[in-house]
Amino acid sequence: MRTIIRNATIVNEGKLFVGSVVIEDEMIQSVLTTDDSTQTYENEIDATGLYLFPGVIDDHVHFREPGFDYKADIASESRTAAAGGVTSYMDMPNTNPQTVTLEDLNHKFNIARNKSRVNYSFYFGATNDNADLLPQLDRNRVPGVKVFMGSSTGNMLVDKEEALFKLFKTSPLLLMAHCEDTGIINHNIKMFRKKYKGQNDFPVRYHSRIRSVEACYKSSSFAVQLAKETGARLHIAHVSSAKELSLFETKPLAEKRITAEVVIAHLMFSTEDYDRLGTKIKCNPSVKTSEDQAALRKALTNGLIDVVATDHAPHLLSEKEGGALKAASGMPMIQFSLVSMLEMVDAGVLPIVRVPDLMSHNPAKLFHIEKRGFIRSGYYADLVLVEPNANWQVMAGRYYTKCGWTPMDERTFKWRVRRTMVNGKTAYCDGIVVDGIRGKELVFNH
């Protein structure tokens, strides 16, 4: 089927221009700067006044299946992704069972093949003793290996230095590291318990002092040291502090062996928001100070940050009860990543042409994803149309995550996703997720 999206304001590869995109079945056939009225199309979409972006590629999500389907699953969270303009995702291994064997990795691919509304892939999880499996991974199917260099949800900590060195030395794929020093975290907890006479929990505002800047920096700097010693490709997940930014370079992405991701939570929230939102914004690593937040925002344009993701991590609200120790860490964010970035555009944080760099182009380049991440002839038609002056409020019935809440509740956004296309088909349009649409496996050309 031939489709044309007419008269959109296209944001792609550093350019902003009015044009039209012709789609032939799954693929983009051409990008036009002048309308060709001599051609006929089975489907015409009038995008006058709307902005057209390449579909967002989220390199960091937790869709919870298998094992935690009561709060989220691949079907529910991929439909949430579609509602947010996210057309591809890469899911983390801290499920149940953990994705640390080839059998369990293949099981997740099979689930997604039947249930995912958008395109998908899955990380393989590192352990203290599974480095010998890494050469067996299919480099065309798997984006990378996730290494928890700090304890977090799922208890997948890799804490033996000899195991870490072997992982960094032998992995044929990019290593994506969660970096928090567990020794510092445990020491901080001990100090708080001493100060508060053995209490088993503390107000959530102390979470950022327990999972501190020092805990993040010590672990991140160790990961960078290992990568330099071994030549490994290292991607540090959810950088959360200004101090960590000193570990990265501003040279072009193609020249980097060590790269950095920041997530929406650390860009949109700071410790000042604990009083208003409480444990709803508790995450690992913790949100940091407003000064850290400002430094992360600045790094979106100075070349230190390469990718923006969500770390979308649903929990039931009942699991978020408690404080700095007992409340679950993580929040559902994938529906609001693109509109949050566009809100920062309006605030002068970054130019609009930088948004697809961080959310589509760079993830595609970094992971060598085949024919995605750009509005180009011969690429899959993964596209999102966004309305610039919608002024809509987030509320129940307007978000789709299975866990049923978001820290964005009651926030008003100027920008709104109007239509998401996955492989040339409309997966979401004006508040409705289209039934029957299924994404494809991402293909990597490592």
Task: State the CATH architecture for 2-52+374-433.
Answer: Roll (2.30)
Helix (H) or strand (E) holding 57: strand 56-61
Q: What is the mean pLDDT of the chain?
A: 96
Single-letter code of the amino acid located at 398: R
Average confidence (pLDDT) over 122-126: 97
CA 54 to each of CA 24, 118, 159: distance values in angstroms, whole numbers, following the listed order: 16, 14, 39
Mean pLDDT for the stretch of residues 91-110: 97
Contact yes or no for 357/14 (Cβ under 8 A): yes
428 with 55: CB under 8 angstroms? no
pLDDT band at 405 (very low <50, low <70, confident <90, very high): very high
CATH number for region 55-366: 3.20.20.140
Range in 84-98, 157-171, 219-233, 312-326 with the lowest mean pLDDT: 157-171
- Taking the C-alpha atoms of residue 127 and residue 199, their distance in angstroms, rounded to an integer, is 32
How far apart, in whole angstroms, are the C-alpha atoms of residue 100 and residue 111?
16
Q: What percent of the chain has pLDDT over 70?
A: 98
CB within 8 Å of 177: residues ≥ 6 apart? 146, 147, 148, 149, 219, 220, 223, 234, 235, 236, 237
Selection from 156, 104, 154 nearest residue 129 by Cα: 156
Angstrom distance (rounded) from CA 38 to CA 353:
31
Q: What is the pLDDT of residue 313?
A: 98
For residue 414, the tally of other CB atoms under 10 A from its CB is 15
**Is the per-residue pLDDT at 23 higher than 80?**
yes
Domain boundaries, the chain: 2-52+374-433, 55-366
Of the listed ranges 34-38, 186-190, 376-380, the one predicted with least confidence: 34-38
Q: Are 83 and 404 spatial neighbours (Cβ–Cβ below 8 Å)? A: no
Give the mean model confidence (pLDDT) for residues 400-419: 97
On the question of pLDDT at 170 being above 60, the answer is: yes
Q: Which two tokens stand for residue 98?
A: 């953990």
- Residue 338 in tokens: 């693109």
pLDDT of residue 38: 73
Longest dimension (CA), the chain: 79
Angle at 209 (CA atoms; ends 407, 190), nearest 5 degrees? 125
* Residue 434 host element (H or E): none
pLDDT at res. 195:
87
User: How many CB atoms lie under 10 A from the CB of residue 229?
Assistant: 11
Residue from 446, 395, 371, 386 nearest 88 by CA: 371
Confidence of residue 400 (pLDDT cuts 50, 70, 90): very high
Write down the pLDDT at residue 155.
Answer: 62
Q: How confident is the model at residue 104 (pLDDT cuts 50, 70, 90)?
A: very high
pLDDT over 70 (residue 154): no
Give the per-residue pLDDT at 210.
97
Quote the pLDDT of residue 153. Answer: 55
Identify the sign of the CA torsion 180, 182, 188, 189: positive
Task: Give the helix/strand (H/E) hosting 427.
Answer: strand 425-429
**CB-CB contact of 55 with 310 (8 Å):** no
Query: How would residue 446 be classed by pLDDT, with cut points 50, 70 and 90?
Result: confident
Question: By the 8 A CB rule, do 279 and 204 touch?
Answer: yes
Residue 197 has a CB neighbour count (10 Å cut-off) of 6
**Stated pTM of the model:** 0.97
pLDDT digits (tens, 9 = 90+) for 47-97: 999 999 999 999 999 999 999 999 999 999 999 999 999 999 999 999 999
Over residues 344-357, the mean pLDDT reads 98
